[in-house]
Amino acid sequence: MSEQLQFPDNFLWGSSISSHQTEGDNVNDWSEWEKSEQRLEDLRKSGRLQRHGLDNFISKNAADHFRLYKEDYQLAKELGHNALRISLEWSRIEPEEGIFSEAALGQYQKMIRHLRELGIEPLVTLWHWTIPLWLRDQGGWANPETPRYFKRYVEKTASFLKDEVDFWITLNEPELYAGMSYFLGIWPPQKKNPYLYLRVIGNLIKAHKLAFEQLHIIKDNFKVGIATNNVYFEPYQGLFHNRAIVKLAHWWNNNYFLNRIKDKQDFIGLNYYFHNLLHWGKTKNQNKTTSDLAWELHPEGIYHVLQDLKKYQRPIYVTENGLADATDKKRAWFIANILKHVHQAIADGVDVKGYLHWSLLDNFEWDKGFEPRFGLVEVNYKTQQRKPRPAAHFYSEIIKKNHLSKEDLEKHASPPED
Ligand code: BGC
């Protein structure tokens, strides 16, 4: 068994959350979609409404984080985190077109200052999928004007918060969002239109570039990137046609967006969740270790995905990685093994500078609602009480030592049984 795995000095250790999933009381395209007739009809038809109940699917006060942020940041502090990725809610900051809320900006400023006082580095995402209603009514990301609207929002917001924030993530997983919302038609606005899908991707690329430039005008030494959801694709049995499909899927899903913005990123944020063993374009995963969402858990995939990002010659932060695991049976194993592979990537020359686990808290998991439990900290949604899960303490020990010990690795050598 290998010796202890030491992480670099000044490594950022922490977790991630997002506004709509935790804050509560947001009014945006998602909050309205959750309550729409079409959505309720879909839930009814699929039997999910009957199985999980309506409350599961309405974000409402979520994890009440807007009110309880001090408590949550304190927990992050006690768990040894030195970084937290949060997102700002566009719909709070610009509730009406061109009208910016000083109150909302002021509140975010207070929150971020508080993080800093606790010695926690904020990584701030400007857009994590939700948009204000006025923008929804103008066609959202399919509208050619939206990149310009985004730039205006970024300019206002970053000018206000320029002394509090150094790391900006313009867009969260733009490729995934475009696919889910405009190609597969699962997320609002539920379009299944390849033409709109490509247009949205184009607009998101434009928006990032404009925001990147704008942010550097405000402060030259801001660090700006996106968070990309990259998948480790493998060809089933190495067959020729599978290799060809893997190449295409890899290029489109993992590299296309990054290639288009390659001169306009100071770092890369990697969100790693998926491994896909492809056979004739379909997933044929063999690994039986899965999360509560039946997503295959494949820690070694992060090594390959990180290796691939090396070509962009930018520092990399793992801005999300985690699993839905309500009983917390697999989380410590998963964290230990992910970190083992992150460490291997660093040892092999990939410039990984931080790891942020998804998520600090249980939260509203988009179309799946509250049921999936991604939190290091458990949330009781009835009382809004927080309780760190055992794996949060395990992760905390690694952070404190800044290494994975031989014992950590031995203990988590094989995946826990279901
Ligand atoms: C998203 C998060 C989400 C997580 C788990 C990521 O793709 O950025 O908002 O909760 O995956 O599904």
* Mean pLDDT, rounded, for 73-86: 99
Query: Do residues 268 and 317 lie in contact, with contact meaning Cβ atoms separated by under 8 Å?
Result: yes
**Minimum-distance ligand 1 atom for the alpha carbon of 227:** 8
Check residue 93 and give its pLDDT: 99
Query: Do residues 319 and 85 lie in contact, with contact meaning Cβ atoms separated by under 8 Å?
Result: yes
Q: How far is residue 129's CA from residue 181's CA, in Å, rounded to a whole number?
A: 10
Check residue 157 and give its pLDDT: 99
Q: What is the mean pLDDT of the chain?
A: 98
Residue 286 has pLDDT above 90, yes or no: no
Angle between helices 194-218 and 146-160 (to 10 degrees): 30
Residue 63 has pLDDT above 70, yes or no: yes
* Mean pLDDT, rounded, for 323-334: 98
Check residue 288 and give its pLDDT: 83
Find the residues whose C-beta lies inside 6 A of ligand 1: 18, 21, 172-173, 176, 229, 271, 273, 320, 358, 365, 374
**Structure confidence at residue 190 as a pLDDT band (50, 70, 90):** very high
Check residue 2 and give its pLDDT: 55
**Cα maximum dimension of the chain:** 59
Cα-to-centroid distance, 358 and ligand 1 (Å): 8
CA 61 to chain centre: 20
Closest-CA residue to 121 (of 158, 69, 86): 86
Check residue 287 and give its pLDDT: 80
Q: For the segment 41-54, what is each residue's pLDDT rounded down to a tens digit? A: 999 999 999 999 99
The number of C-alpha atoms within 13 Å of 136 and in the hemisphere containing its C-beta is 19
Token pair of 190, please?
Answer: 């539920």
Residue 1 has pLDDT above 50, yes or no: no
**Minimum-distance ligand 1 atom for the alpha carbon of 172:** 8
**Structure confidence at residue 3 as a pLDDT band (50, 70, 90):** confident
Q: How far is residue 300's CA from residue 341's CA, in Å, rounded to a whole number?
A: 6
Cα-to-centroid distance, 16 and ligand 1 (Å): 10
Residue nearest to atom 5 of ligand 1 (CA): 365
